[in-house]
A and B are shown apart, each in its own frame.
Chain A
């Protein structure tokens, strides 16, 4: 697959790029998104912790299937990810990622 447009998912309505072979959790991390769920009791943010499907910290909804583990579900073109609007972005990292993703813009 060499067409970048095909490597897009939809996260809460926003485009989320991914690299072939990434999990959904990895794609989110790559985009500077470190959490996408809040805990039931204290409303604390959660993202990836164990990275291997054991801790269930990374749950989100994919294509209408609830409670999927972001760290195990492979990213796939057109996947629709819903976090209930709980995505928290580290903007500093996001800028760096954007730069890295579009090197041609940093030539000026």
Chain B
């Protein structure tokens, strides 16, 4: 237990958090940087454990020098005592502000308790901060499909994480499905690592892009990235099928095959277009969705973004509306790593200004301008790759929706019809989806969509928020809870 007090606590050492922590330190603030991961980089710059493999080559990593520059700044600031970096550390509770000091105490625990010594060393169980920058990132957004709980079916980002973090290929014959530009690097990554990718199934239509080209042209590097992936797809002969979904996944104890089909513009399957592929790995991804338990825990406002996900509301300087709390990166709306970096820097500058440090207004407006451009691109991307409105029509009564509590679609329909569950919150109370280990992180978006479709309406912010609220940000040991000493009431 330490009683260290810091000017700023930054949560997450991904693109947003690294940028925030290093920018805050550079204007003279003392920073504690807390991250559940073992080394800085977050999802985007995930790389093999350097304590095990040393510096690795980073072909396939875009903007790697942006990362190494920030990492050097992190190390310099750590040596100078400006940043205290706590890797392998999970923030599980943010106490309410203490009136006397206007500070917050952050409750911490080890991310995991087995494995190499250096990763499971005891860390402080609490730190206290004046200001808080939340950069918790997100995870793959999922839509359930018959058979998606078979081993061998993975989140597309998980397939990528396995490749980038562990240099491990998830299987030998793969199919990648869902929507969005992220399906391309996943498929190409697998092919470059020696797997056969039988197809990318994109639910959207390619021509969806055309109306948004102007926004895309504002970010030329994205166009270049796209061209590189197109060339690699041609090289590896990866077929790209638009308006195509995985209708069902087959297998006994692991994936053996999938059935795909064409869909119309609403996402309704077109009869007679089914195709079967034998595969041993399936990567599913419907874009990303932010990790919102920390913003919700501190009482930040949320809204439904253009892509339909719940995101945190911030002003044009990353203020959350809760005094002393700033939010940056995917949590404010999914927009990619470059936008996360710009938002992280801006959050740090704003926090510094709000605590009376001089900052350059020019830096602020430059960052705001950048963010606006990236946001425009993100909106274009989301609009071109929507979750098909008719997706709940793909579900069978026995399709598992909540993987943890094993709640299937039929259970949810019954809860609606017989017990009048008309919104996601009531569905959760009655049928218990989202009440297991993952606390609705995997199924929350789907539950909100199912609740809405059962009632014949659009999902609401409240449907989503009821799935995103978590009393604790992660499961913790009873001993951690006991250590709270009845200080606060959950």
Contacts and interface: CB of A to CB of B under 8 A. Distances in A.
Q: Report the 10 A-B pairs with minimum CB-CB distance, sorted nearest first.
A: A51-B158, A26-B166, A21-B48, A56-B437, A62-B114, A35-B151, A26-B168, A65-B114, A34-B151, A20-B52
Interface in A71-104: 71-76, 79, 88, 90, 93, 96
Interface in B412-438: 436-438
Given A20-B52, A56-B404, A74-B119, A49 B158 contact: yes
A44 B399 CA distance: 13
A93 B254 CA distance: 12
Contacts of B437: 55-56, 59
Contacts of B280: 90, 93
A48 B114 contact: no
B158 A74 contact: no
Interface string A14-37: 000001111111110110001100
Interface residues of A, number: 50
A108 interface: no
Given A48-B158, A74-B52, A68 B167 contact: no
A53 B254 contact: no
Interface of B: 36, 38, 43, 48-49, 52-53, 111-116, 119, 139-140, 149-155, 157-162, 165-168, 170-172, 253-254, 280, 291, 403-406, 436-438, 441-442, 475
A105 interface: no
A29 B254 CA distance: 12
A72 B159 CA distance: 14
Contact of B151 (A41, A46, A53, A72): A46
Contacts of B172: 93, 96
Contacts of A57: 403
15 contacts: A19-B167, A20-B49, A26-B166, A26-B167, A29-B168, A34-B152, A34-B254, A35-B151, A52-B139, A56-B475, A68-B114, A73-B114, A88-B151, A90-B254, A93-B280
Contacts of B171: 93
Contacts of A29: 162, 168, 170
Of the candidates A47, A49, A88, the one having the most CB atoms from chain B within 10 angstroms of its own CB is A49
Contacts of A24: 115
A39 interface: yes
Contact of B140 (A27, A30, A50): A50
A47 B158 CA distance: 12
A5 interface: no
Nearest to A37: B151
A93 B173 CA distance: 11
A47 B254 CA distance: 10
Given A20-B49, A49-B158, 13 more contacts: A23-B165, A26-B165, A41-B406, A45-B151, A55-B437, A56-B437, A56-B438, A72-B111, A74-B38, A75-B115, A88-B253, A90-B280, A93-B171
Nearest to B407: A41
Given A49-B403, A51-B154, A55-B403, A73 B112 contact: yes
A35 B112 CA distance: 20
